[in-house]
Protein backbone atom coordinates (compact mmCIF):
# COMPACT_ATOMS: atom_id res chain seq x y z
CA UNK A 1 0.00 0.00 0.00
CA UNK A 2 1.39 3.36 -0.92
CA UNK A 3 0.70 6.66 0.74
CA UNK A 4 -0.93 9.30 -1.41
CA UNK A 5 1.44 12.24 -1.64
CA UNK A 6 -1.21 14.24 -3.45
CA UNK A 7 -4.87 14.22 -2.58
CA UNK A 8 -6.50 15.97 -5.54
CA UNK A 9 -9.32 18.36 -4.86
CA UNK A 10 -8.64 18.67 -1.15
CA UNK A 11 -7.37 22.02 0.06
CA UNK A 12 -4.25 21.76 2.23
CA UNK A 13 -4.64 23.21 5.74
CA UNK A 14 -1.36 24.86 6.76
CA UNK A 15 0.76 22.27 4.98
CA UNK A 16 -1.61 19.44 5.78
CA UNK A 17 -4.08 17.45 3.70
CA UNK A 18 -7.65 17.45 4.90
CA UNK A 19 -8.65 13.76 4.72
CA UNK A 20 -12.13 14.33 6.18
CA UNK A 21 -13.75 17.15 8.15
CA UNK A 22 -11.53 17.63 11.22
CA UNK A 23 -8.94 15.08 10.12
CA UNK A 24 -5.69 16.60 8.84
CA UNK A 25 -2.65 14.67 7.67
CA UNK A 26 0.83 16.24 7.85
CA UNK A 27 2.95 13.90 5.79
CA UNK A 28 6.65 13.93 6.74
CA UNK A 29 6.20 16.72 9.30
CA UNK A 30 9.40 15.61 11.08
CA UNK A 31 12.50 15.19 8.91
CA UNK A 32 15.11 12.50 9.63
CA UNK A 33 17.02 14.61 12.15
CA UNK A 34 13.86 15.57 14.05
CA UNK A 35 12.71 11.94 14.08
CA UNK A 36 16.06 10.89 15.58
CA UNK A 37 15.90 13.67 18.17
CA UNK A 38 12.34 12.72 19.15
CA UNK A 39 13.30 9.02 19.32
CA UNK A 40 16.16 10.03 21.66
CA UNK A 41 13.77 12.03 23.86
CA UNK A 42 11.48 8.99 24.03
CA UNK A 43 14.37 6.66 24.91
CA UNK A 44 15.17 8.99 27.86
CA UNK A 45 11.53 9.04 28.97
CA UNK A 46 11.30 5.25 28.81
CA UNK A 47 14.23 4.99 31.24
CA UNK A 48 12.01 6.75 33.79
CA UNK A 49 8.68 5.24 32.71
CA UNK A 50 9.32 1.78 31.24
CA UNK A 51 7.06 0.13 28.65
CA UNK A 52 4.45 -2.09 30.28
CA UNK A 53 1.68 -4.34 28.98
CA UNK A 54 -1.80 -2.89 29.54
CA UNK A 55 -4.79 -5.21 29.98
CA UNK A 56 -8.37 -5.06 28.78
CA UNK A 57 -11.08 -4.15 31.28
CA UNK A 58 -12.96 -7.19 32.68
CA UNK A 59 -11.28 -9.90 30.56
CA UNK A 60 -7.77 -8.93 31.66
CA UNK A 61 -6.55 -9.86 28.18
CA UNK A 62 -3.16 -8.34 27.35
CA UNK A 63 -2.93 -5.66 24.67
CA UNK A 64 -0.50 -6.58 21.90
CA UNK A 65 0.85 -3.02 22.13
CA UNK A 66 3.16 -1.96 24.97
CA UNK A 67 2.48 1.45 26.48
CA UNK A 68 3.86 4.19 28.65
CA UNK A 69 3.07 7.90 29.01
CA UNK A 70 4.56 11.34 29.44
CA UNK A 71 2.81 14.35 30.91
CA UNK A 72 0.89 15.19 34.07
CA UNK A 73 -1.64 12.45 33.25
CA UNK A 74 -1.26 9.11 31.50
CA UNK A 75 -3.82 6.81 29.91
CA UNK A 76 -3.86 3.33 31.47
CA UNK A 77 -6.04 0.24 31.32
CA UNK A 78 -6.27 -2.82 33.52
CA UNK A 79 -8.76 -5.55 34.34
CA UNK A 80 -10.28 -4.01 37.46
CA UNK A 81 -9.94 -0.26 36.91
CA UNK A 82 -10.69 -0.12 33.18
CA UNK A 83 -9.69 2.75 30.92
CA UNK A 84 -8.65 5.91 32.77
CA UNK A 85 -6.11 8.65 33.21
CA UNK A 86 -3.81 8.74 36.22
CA UNK A 87 -0.81 10.73 37.39
CA UNK A 88 1.51 7.77 38.04
CA UNK A 89 2.95 4.77 36.20
CA UNK A 90 0.89 1.68 37.09
CA UNK A 91 3.96 -0.52 37.70
CA UNK A 92 6.56 1.81 39.24
CA UNK A 93 4.14 4.21 40.95
CA UNK A 94 6.33 7.13 39.80
CA UNK A 95 5.05 10.34 38.17
CA UNK A 96 5.22 10.28 34.38
CA UNK A 97 8.17 12.11 32.76
CA UNK A 98 7.68 15.40 30.89
CA UNK A 99 6.25 15.43 27.39
CA UNK A 100 9.09 15.46 24.78
CA UNK A 101 9.86 18.98 23.54
CA UNK A 102 9.46 18.08 19.88
CA UNK A 103 6.03 16.61 20.53
CA UNK A 104 4.99 19.77 22.40
CA UNK A 105 6.22 21.85 19.45
CA UNK A 106 4.02 19.81 17.12
CA UNK A 107 1.01 20.38 19.40
CA UNK A 108 1.65 24.14 19.43
CA UNK A 109 2.08 24.24 15.67
CA UNK A 110 -0.80 22.01 14.62
CA UNK A 111 -3.47 21.64 17.31
CA UNK A 112 -5.09 25.12 16.97
CA UNK A 113 -5.87 24.67 20.68
CA UNK A 114 -4.71 27.33 23.15
CA UNK A 115 -3.89 25.11 26.14
CA UNK A 116 -1.14 22.53 26.50
CA UNK A 117 -1.72 18.79 26.30
CA UNK A 118 -1.74 16.93 29.61
CA UNK A 119 -1.11 13.41 28.33
CA UNK A 120 1.21 11.93 25.75
CA UNK A 121 0.40 8.25 25.37
CA UNK A 122 3.26 6.25 23.86
CA UNK A 123 2.40 3.00 22.09
CA UNK A 124 5.09 0.56 21.01
CA UNK A 125 4.19 -1.89 18.24
CA UNK A 126 6.38 -4.84 17.36
CA UNK A 127 5.72 -6.43 13.98
CA UNK A 128 2.80 -8.50 15.36
CA UNK A 129 1.05 -5.78 17.33
CA UNK A 130 -2.29 -4.31 16.30
CA UNK A 131 -4.84 -1.92 17.71
CA UNK A 132 -8.54 -2.63 17.22
CA UNK A 133 -11.01 -0.03 16.02
CA UNK A 134 -11.85 2.34 18.90
CA UNK A 135 -12.68 5.94 19.81
CA UNK A 136 -10.56 8.14 22.10
CA UNK A 137 -13.27 9.18 24.53
CA UNK A 138 -11.83 9.01 28.03
CA UNK A 139 -11.04 12.73 28.04
CA UNK A 140 -13.32 15.45 29.43
CA UNK A 141 -12.28 17.97 26.78
CA UNK A 142 -13.36 17.12 23.24
CA UNK A 143 -12.73 20.68 21.98
CA UNK A 144 -9.02 19.79 21.83
CA UNK A 145 -7.84 17.52 19.05
CA UNK A 146 -5.77 14.37 19.44
CA UNK A 147 -2.39 14.90 17.76
CA UNK A 148 -0.86 11.60 16.66
CA UNK A 149 2.83 11.26 15.72
CA UNK A 150 4.31 8.19 14.02
CA UNK A 151 7.93 7.05 14.36
CA UNK A 152 9.76 3.97 13.09
CA UNK A 153 8.11 1.26 11.00
CA UNK A 154 5.15 2.22 8.85
CA UNK A 155 1.66 0.95 9.57
CA UNK A 156 -1.70 0.52 7.94
CA UNK A 157 -3.94 2.91 9.87
CA UNK A 158 -7.69 2.52 9.54
CA UNK A 159 -10.16 5.33 10.15
CA UNK A 160 -13.90 5.52 9.80
CA UNK A 161 -16.77 7.59 11.13
CA UNK A 162 -18.56 8.09 14.41
CA UNK A 163 -20.12 4.63 14.32
CA UNK A 164 -18.10 1.45 14.47
CA UNK A 165 -20.07 0.20 11.48
CA UNK A 166 -19.28 3.25 9.29
CA UNK A 167 -17.16 2.53 6.21
CA UNK A 168 -13.44 2.77 6.98
CA UNK A 169 -10.50 3.93 4.88
CA UNK A 170 -6.87 2.92 5.08
CA UNK A 171 -3.85 5.20 5.25
CA UNK A 172 -0.19 4.26 5.44
CA UNK A 173 1.44 6.18 8.28
CA UNK A 174 5.22 6.53 8.00
CA UNK A 175 7.91 7.77 10.36
CA UNK A 176 7.60 11.54 10.81
CA UNK A 177 3.93 11.74 9.78
CA UNK A 178 1.37 13.50 11.99
CA UNK A 179 -2.38 13.11 12.02
CA UNK A 180 -4.59 15.65 13.78
CA UNK A 181 -8.03 14.35 14.79
CA UNK A 182 -10.20 17.27 15.84
CA UNK A 183 -13.63 18.78 15.32
CA UNK A 184 -15.91 16.36 13.52
CA UNK A 185 -13.12 13.73 13.55
CA UNK A 186 -12.37 13.99 17.27
CA UNK A 187 -14.47 10.91 18.05
CA UNK A 188 -13.91 8.98 14.84
CA UNK A 189 -13.25 5.26 15.08
CA UNK A 190 -9.64 4.36 14.26
CA UNK A 191 -7.13 1.56 14.70
CA UNK A 192 -3.95 -0.02 13.40
CA UNK A 193 -4.33 -3.11 11.21
CA UNK A 194 -0.74 -3.97 10.42
CA UNK A 195 2.88 -2.97 10.98
CA UNK A 196 5.22 -3.10 7.98
CA UNK A 197 8.22 -4.78 9.63
CA UNK A 198 11.67 -3.35 8.86
CA UNK A 199 10.23 -0.48 6.80
CA UNK A 200 12.27 2.02 8.86
CA UNK A 201 15.72 1.90 10.43
CA UNK A 202 14.93 4.63 12.98
CA UNK A 203 14.36 2.52 16.07
CA UNK A 204 17.12 0.17 17.19
CA UNK A 205 15.50 -3.26 17.10
CA UNK A 206 12.70 -2.06 14.79
CA UNK A 207 9.04 -1.55 15.54
CA UNK A 208 6.78 1.48 15.56
CA UNK A 209 6.16 4.12 18.22
CA UNK A 210 3.02 6.23 18.14
CA UNK A 211 2.63 9.26 20.37
CA UNK A 212 -0.81 10.71 20.96
CA UNK A 213 -1.04 14.08 22.63
CA UNK A 214 -4.30 14.71 24.47
CA UNK A 215 -5.90 17.42 26.55
CA UNK A 216 -7.71 15.51 29.28
CA UNK A 217 -9.36 18.11 31.54
CA UNK A 218 -11.37 21.19 30.58
CA UNK A 219 -9.33 24.33 31.18
CA UNK A 220 -10.84 26.64 33.79
CA UNK A 221 -12.45 29.71 32.24
CA UNK A 222 -10.27 32.84 32.29
CA UNK A 223 -10.66 34.93 35.45
CA UNK A 224 -11.35 32.02 37.81
CA UNK A 225 -7.90 32.04 39.34
CA UNK A 226 -6.35 29.26 37.25
CA UNK A 227 -2.57 29.17 37.27
CA UNK A 228 -0.98 30.32 34.00
CA UNK A 229 -0.39 27.43 31.64
CA UNK A 230 2.71 27.20 29.48
C1 LIG B 1 -4.08 5.13 19.25
O2 LIG B 1 -5.19 5.20 18.72
O3 LIG B 1 -3.91 5.26 20.46
C4 LIG B 1 -2.87 4.86 18.41
C5 LIG B 1 -3.03 5.06 16.96
C6 LIG B 1 -1.74 4.77 16.22
O7 LIG B 1 -0.95 3.97 16.71
O8 LIG B 1 -1.53 5.33 15.13
MN1 LIG C 1 -6.84 6.05 19.74
The pLDDT tens digits of the residues spanning 180-198 come to 999 999 999 999 999 999 9
Instruction: Compute the average pLDDT of residues 40-50.
Output: 98
Q: How far is the CA of 141 from the centre of ligand 1 (A)?
A: 18
The structural domains of the chain, ordered by start, are 17-214 (2.60.120.590)
Per-residue pLDDT for 10 more than 70? Answer: no
- Closest ligand 1 atom to the C-alpha of 173? 8
Sequential DSSP letters for 150-189:
EEESEEEEEE--SSTTS--EEEEE-TT-EEEE-GGGTT--
Tell me phi and psi for residue 102, to 5 degrees: -65, -30
Q: Alpha helix locations (H) across the chain?
A: 32-48, 101-110
- Closest ligand 1 atom to the C-alpha of 212? 3
Pairing mode, if any, of strands 23-26 and 12-13? unpaired
Minimal-distance CA residue to ligand 1 atom 2:
191
pLDDT at 226: 52
Residues 159, 177: Cα–Cα separation, whole Å? 15
Q: How far is the CA of 116 from the centre of ligand 2 (A)?
A: 19
Q: 190 CB less than 6 Å from ligand 1?
A: yes
Minimal-distance CA residue to ligand 1 atom 8:
210
pLDDT at 118: 99
Q: Which carries the bigger pLDDT value, residue 109 or residue 224?
A: 109
Residues 200, 28: Cα–Cα separation, whole Å? 13
* Ligand found nearest the CA of 154: 1
Instruction: Report pTM.
Output: 0.92
> What pLDDT digit, counting tens, does each position of 91-105 carry?
999 999 999 999 999
Q: How far is the CA of 225 from the centre of ligand 2 (A)?
A: 33
Amino acid sequence: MRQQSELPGIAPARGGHCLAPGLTFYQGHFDDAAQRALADEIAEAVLQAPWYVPRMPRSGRAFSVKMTNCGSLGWVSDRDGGYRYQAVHPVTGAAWPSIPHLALNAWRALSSYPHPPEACLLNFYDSHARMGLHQDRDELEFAAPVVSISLGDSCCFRYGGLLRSDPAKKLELCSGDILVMGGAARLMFHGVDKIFAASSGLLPGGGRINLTLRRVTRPRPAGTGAARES
